[in-house]
A and B are shown apart, each in its own frame.
Chain A
């Protein structure tokens, strides 16, 4: 891992550690937990888009598989929560292989279309055959670690964000390793990297599985935090929101996913005061943000930081 990346992560971890100590408001903590969950999904998509040049409009599908499988295993089969979370992630990764192989053999936008279809199918299946159908089901057990059950927002906040930080460290290392460089090369030119002897398709499939890994993990955490699931949380709308997070944050940097998740999750909370008009205001803000901050907020922040250093 590069030095400045390590430094950023260190500072970031400190911030996360201190935040709940300063703001004792569990409402803010709850927002923080949802930002963390969304950030996990968004980081996966950032790698897929920024480093493999592929778009997915179906992350809600993996998010949903993670949530439902984990919830069902722990609630109806009595498995320990951590084990069911793990199994749920495995299931999502296997499913992702079946999408990735046919879709990534083809060039262009096929992954986008295939994931769109996949996400919708998962949603419809959950609606039709999920426990409780469209009404959803509750009483899902909470996360417990070595016999200790997490109940408060503090515990979940630290749990979610530790995972986000681990995922960030892992992802930074991945990108800096050989695979990461090859991935950047794909984004540049597929033909060129193929001539150098990089197996592009295999790499793309790996990254896609990784994004499914992160999304399903986030879904499993969601399930055991909210303890109630219904299909509506896993619709196309969520996939589009994640896509929006990544674009608003910026795809050129891993932090884009985190920053985007922060902005998109917190915006509706800030707009609560607008009541009926919030959809309109939300649309206006998004449009303006996309039009004027084209590369995403992270490059904008970095640029500002650099200028500030030069002064």
Chain B
């Protein structure tokens, strides 16, 4: 009995000493709120995985000046109420230095008053323009995904080159599809494009043939689908089965190899504006983003056996910005915020080359997208 107790004590002591010796400094706490479950889990899942992987890598490399980082990931279940609770917990209980996430625009909007009041810098992983605009009122808020309008501009610019004048749009009736739809409708006149059909479908719908048949009959010269999740694959399959005879464009949510697998041969010829993370291996070696993307994607694939996709990248950029700020200014919320606003310039991330400024808390534009077509079951950059 006594021997056992002694043994136990020794083990406990050695654990204590061991952990003490590897990190003698206090950890830097960062909060993360992701939609790991629920309707937006396609965003939260790769974001969470990315953050866990990065934390491990950073701490293995000795942390930040000897301080390990600790990221507390909360699941907001794709629900605004849960996001509010998570933000409160991170700020009040965990006393985090910064918050990365939430994954969706709605959840980000819901916690903006809380983080602003608590004066905590937040880097959202959601795309909505209202997250960082107006910048004056969003003093503490940044975001890493491109604006939806940038993706739409990329598509329309390409269409203009191809002489497409009439488009039919089909969007999912969630926040993602809705903000895409608004951007598509708003920007069309600027590019001399007419939206001749405006269709929608629910996130759990099983068949979109009716909507596509209507678009076909409307005389559109191209279809644009704006959605994430199973919907974009079902649309692709329905588009293929209907033999619509006009090209199908997808949003930047299309950038996952899994979509090509699920849609099979129906995916051939589908065009989408995608972040370079999807086509990193096809970039020239001189491209400033290539080394980062290569390391991130290969590490992620090795660890999780799946692709991080564009969305995992948003979390990568958000966390790395905070980490860089911590390296340079230390654990001070205000200084972290100021650093991100003024010092993130020509900063290559996974989403593009960021240029933050007091006027722009996103720092990306349409040049961060490449137009990509599916060919022989793989991506191909369109020139």
- Using CB atoms and an 8 Å cutoff, list the residues of chain A in contact with chain B: 25-27, 30-31, 34, 127-128, 133-136, 138, 151, 153, 226-228, 230, 232-233, 268-269, 272, 275-276, 278-279
Contacts and interface: CB of A to CB of B under 8 A. Distances in A.
A30 B85 contact: yes
Nearest to B94: A27
Contacts of A26: 88, 92
A25 B178 CA distance: 37
Interface of B: 36-37, 39, 74-75, 77-82, 84-85, 88-89, 92-93, 105-106, 109-110, 112-113, 117, 128, 130, 173-175, 177-179
Across the A-B interface, the 8 shortest Cβ-Cβ residue pairs:
A135-B175, A228-B110, A230-B106, A27-B92, A134-B178, A27-B88, A138-B109, A30-B88
Given A30-B84, A138-B130, A276-B36, A232 B177 contact: no
Nearest to A31: B85
Given A25-B93, A226-B80, A232-B79, A134 B177 contact: yes
A136 B89 contact: no
Given A133-B173, A232-B78, 9 more contacts: A27-B88, A31-B85, A135-B128, A138-B130, A228-B110, A230-B80, A233-B80, A268-B82, A275-B75
Nearest to B113: A227
Main SS of the interface on chain B? helix
Contacts of B93: 25, 27
Contact of B80 (A25, A232, A272, A276): A232
Contacts, number: 79
15 contacts: A34-B81, A134-B173, A134-B174, A135-B105, A135-B128, A135-B130, A136-B106, A136-B175, A153-B88, A226-B80, A226-B81, A228-B109, A228-B110, A228-B112, A272-B75
Contacts of B74: 272
Nearest to A142: B113
B178 A135 contact: yes
Main SS of the interface on chain A? helix
Contacts of A278: 37, 75
Contact of A269 (B85, B92, B106): B85
Contacts of B106: 135-136, 228, 230, 232
Given A27-B88, A134-B175, A138-B112, A279 B37 contact: yes
B166 to A, nearest CB: 24
Nearest to B106: A230
Nearest to B85: A30
Contacts of B78: 232
B37 A276 contact: yes
Contacts of A134: 173-175, 177-178
Contacts of B113: 227-228
Contacts of B117: 151
B340 to A, nearest CB: 22
Contacts of B179: 135
Nearest to A128: B173
Contacts of A27: 85, 88-89, 92-93
A128 B173 CA distance: 8
A36 to B, nearest CB: 13
Contacts of B81: 34, 226, 233
Nearest to A222: B81
A276 B130 CA distance: 30
